[in-house]
Amino acid sequence: MPVRDVYVIGAGMTPFSGKLHAGKTGRELLVEATLEAVKSVDKGIDLKRDVEAVFVGYFTPELYEHQSHIGPLAASWLGLTPKPAFRTEIACASSSAALFAGITAIASGVCDLVLVGGVEKMTNLDTFGVTEALAMASDDLSESRVGATFPGLYALLAQAYFRRYGATWEQLQKVPIKNHYNGSLNPKAHFQQTIAQLAEKVGAKEGVKYRDELDFLKNSPFNRVVAYPLRLFDCCPISDGAAVAFLASSEVAKKFTDTPLRLLGVGMGSDSVALQDRVELTSLRATRSAAEMAYKMAGIEPKDVDVAEVHDCFTIAEWLAVEDLGLIGKGEAPKAYAEGLTNIDGEIPVNTDGGLKAKGHPVGATGVGMLNEIWHQLRGTAGKRQVKKKAEVGLIHNVGGSGASAAVFIFGR
């Protein structure tokens, strides 16, 4: 059976937030994101008539909402029963698994148009409860059972990177400074203030006037150490949210829009869940494997990517990502970030929506949330955060856990 081309014909998402969605359920957020996606389809879409299957990523609904069996539940709330409906889960890359499944359904010819999405309702639990829930994506026997948390695991990755390349925590702060600036331009971001604005606001309460962003990040008690060397602003927030996209075959896509995004390449990778079993800690093998697959399928090289959304659950994760994806050379992230190469007006803009760090990280929604940004960047509808050069190729990189799962998708105009 020949493989068919796959296109994105619409995308929508809720705001990612820690407070805005209080009182809402995950299913309500998914409906809200779906309605946004419906509005984005240029020539209109009828869910009940046009959608043939549903794929939804949700990491731990059992803990957050005491609910499983998410696939048919989503289909029911979207008015899509009795059509096929599935839940996918690979930790923080759960909706990327949904995206992969949807792509497979279209490419294989099983379906002509599908809905893919993701959701997470995290704030139903307190910080301790969320930390415990997230820890289920680590290795129970060797990590979470003995007290390891994801801030701690990524702190180990940061320490390993610093030792190997001689980098410093101060250099790493270019990541949150950039991403909070980008988030300030995104009306759907969890954090919509720059680090400079936060420094002024927090400094006023502390009775301190900080010289610049780094002075604030380094010296304010507000930016406390979470797991050395990572501090509060090195960590993504706890967010609620949902994101949805519609995928279609080439013939069907033409009926809905004249400007779809074409899938150029896709790759998925895996690695050991436990860090102790990894070959190295300054690179994620799953990312490298997924990227190699995606670049080969797309027939392009890293230098051909115009804009990228990468997984930055912690600041060090962004450095690892851009290097593993080949966007920046190994060990060269500190220099590249100091030179502004990944800024919106830089050579290779990264996380123009604020990334997980500022846009937020409702884990089950993150992958398709990234697709929403690439949808806007490649179509030229990203508003104030639109990249300066015309973007023709966009890349999405989503990680599960501390790197045991990874997904890379490449889209073109």
Residues tagged active-site? 92, 361
Q: Could you tell me the two tokens for 245?
A: 């996209």
Parallel/antiparallel/unpaired status of strands 307-309 and 393-400: parallel
Q: Indicate the residue type of 143.
A: E
Residue type, 303: K
Query: How many whole angstroms separate alpha carbon 7 and alpha carbon 4?
Result: 10
Q: CA nearest 332: which of 315, 319, 317?
A: 319
Return the amino acid letter for 165. Y
Pairing of strands 405-412, 54-57: unpaired
Is the distance from CB of 74 to CB of 61 less than 8 angstroms? no
